[in-house]
Amino acid sequence: MNMETEMNLQDRPFDINDYIRLNMMPHFLCPGCGHGIALRALLWAVHELGLDKDRLAVVSGIGCSGRLSAYVDANSFHTTHGRPLAFATGLALARPDLTVIVITGDGDSLAIGGNHLIHACRRNLNMTCLMLNNEIYGMTGGQVSPTTSADRYTTTTPAGNREPVFDACALAAAAGAGFVGREVTLQVTGLKDLIRKAIAHDGFSFVEVISDCTEIYGRKNDLGASPEMMLGQKAVMRPDTYRSTVDVPFRPNALKTGVLQQTDRPEYGSSYRAMVAARQRDSGEDR
C-alpha cells in the first residue's frame, strides 16, 4: 500500500472492511463466537494507532483463533500448533521495523505452547500476544483446556473438569512480561483501548481476552446463547472494574480486567542488536 492510500485510510472513521480480506468472507466462526469481536477490537486499535498494514505482521497457531490471521489484510502467518510465539520471535528479531502481533488460544499458548509463552515473556521482545480464552479446544473436538472452569463438561471431562484453572495473566506477569492485561469481549471499547496500550508498549505485551464459545462449550454446559454468555461475563468481573447486579452462575472466580501489570525494562531486540553492533566494532578495532 502506498503512503497516500495509507494516510487517507487513517483520516477516515474506522471501517473493518478496510482491514480484512474480503475475498476470505464469509468467515468460518460460529454465530455468537467472541473471536470475531476480539478481531474487530484489534483492527480498531490498529486503525487508531495509524499502523501501516504493510508493516503489520499477524502470526497465529492452530485452533479457532488460529484462523483469524488469514482474515487480516496484512502480512499474516498461520503456523504450527503451539508455535506462533516461536515464529514471531524470529520475525521480530529479524524485522524490528514490523509491528508483530500474535493471536493464539488458551490451548495453543498454555498447553502445547506453554514453554514458548514463558520464554517470550522472559525475553521481553517487542511484540503483542492476544490469547483468546474460550476455555475449550473448540476446533478439534471440544476437549478440556488449561483454562476450562471447574466442573465444566467437555468431551474429555464427561463428569466435569477437576483440574484447577490456569491463570494465564499471573503466569505472564511472573515470567516477566512487560505489559499484562485482561478484558472481556462484552467490553468492546475497553478491549480496543487495552489492545492499543499493549501494542504501544515497548516490550512483550500479553493480553488475555475472555471470548465465549457458544457452540462447543456453551451448549454442552447449558450456558445459553451468546447474550446469556455475555451476561455471564458481567457476573464474574470484579466490582472494582465493573459493578453488576446480574447473578449468572458462570466462571466461579472474579476476574480483574484492564491493565494488570506494566513495567519498563530493556527490550530484548534492542539489547541484542546493541550487543552485536558492539562486538562488530570491537572486532574491527582489533584488526
Q: In the predicted model, is pLDDT for residue 152 greater than 50?
A: yes
More confident residue, 3 or 39: 39
Prediction pTM value: 0.89
Query: Which of 24-33, 49-58, 211-220 tops mean pLDDT?
Result: 49-58
* Residue 254 confidence (pLDDT): 65
How is the chain classified by DSSP, letter by letter? --HHHHHHHHHSPP-GGGTB-GGGPSP-PPTT-HHHHHHHHHHHHHHHHT--GGGEEEEE-SSTGGGGGGGBSSEEEE--TT-HHHHHHHHHHH-TTSEEEEEEEHHHHHTTTHHHHHHHHHHT-SEEEEEEE-SSBTTTT-B--TTPPTT--BTTBTT---SPPP-HHHHHHHHT-SEEEEEETT-HHHHHHHHHHHHHSSSEEEEEEE---IIIIITTTT--SHHHHHHHHHHHB-TTT----------SS-B--EEEEE-----HHHHHHHHHHHHHHHHHHH-
For residue range 80-125, list pLDDT tens digits in order. Answer: 888 999 999 999 999 999 999 999 999 999 999 999 999 999 999 9
**Which structural domain, as residue segments, surrounds residue 215?**
3-286
* Residue 253 confidence (pLDDT): 54
For residue range 176-214, list pLDDT tens digits in order. Answer: 999 999 999 999 999 999 999 999 999 999 999 999 999
- The CATH number covering residue 98 comes to 3.40.50.970
Mean pLDDT of 254-276: 89
Q: How many domains would you assign to the chain?
A: 1
State the residue for C-alpha cell 514490523. Answer: 98
Give the DSSP H/E element, type plus range, for residue 10.
helix 3-11
More confident residue, 167 or 247: 167
* Residue 9 confidence (pLDDT): 73
* Residue 6 confidence (pLDDT): 52
For residue 239, what pLDDT band results from cuts at 50, 70 and 90? low
Mean pLDDT of 233-261: 60
